A = this chain, B = another copy of it.
Amino acid sequence: MTIRVQQADFDIGVELAALTQGNPGIGGVCCFTGLVRDLHPQADEQAGTVCALTLEHYPGMTERQLAAIEAEARARWPLEACLIIHRYGRMEPGENIVLVACASAHREAAFDACRFLMDWLKSKAPFWKLEETCRGTRWVASRHSDEEAARRWDQPAG
């Protein structure tokens, strides 16, 4: 059960190998990676191409909130291992921003927990994206659909 908030990039292969190493009870790992896109998320043609993203966060609160939601995921699903890495600082298109991986005996729990963590992270983890385009910089607006996605999990699945 690992949480890391860091500037440095991560190596997905190394991280996943460490996650499953020595636990032959793991039958499946679901992993999500978020990357910097060169297109503006609101599909606003005037915005132009994104040449970089700077991720700001709230040190202290970030780790605390990630630890709380990771504990929640472990309480809801039978997870064998869990990993959250979120980067901050300046990144260019194609670079990794976030990695969430959940390992379980069966795939259903791994998929559900991973998606739960990503939905939550998108709507509650204190990170903010500043976009650089050829026209200057601007703060990315939050997506309504991200809050809706997180609300899906307010009631445990039936």
Residues of A in contact with B (beta carbons under 8 Å apart): 11-14, 16-17, 20-39, 41, 93-94, 105, 107-108, 110-111, 114-115, 118, 122, 149
Contacts and interface: CB of A to CB of B under 8 A. Distances in A.
Contact of A13 (B11, B22, B25): B11
Contacts of A33: 16, 28-29, 31
Contacts of A149: 108
Contact of A110 (B14, B23, B29, B32): B32
Given A34-B28, A37-B24, A107 B118 contact: yes
A105 B37 contact: yes
Given A107-B32, A111-B32, A94 B11 contact: no
Contacts of A13: 11-14, 16
A25 B110 CA distance: 26
A20 B107 contact: no
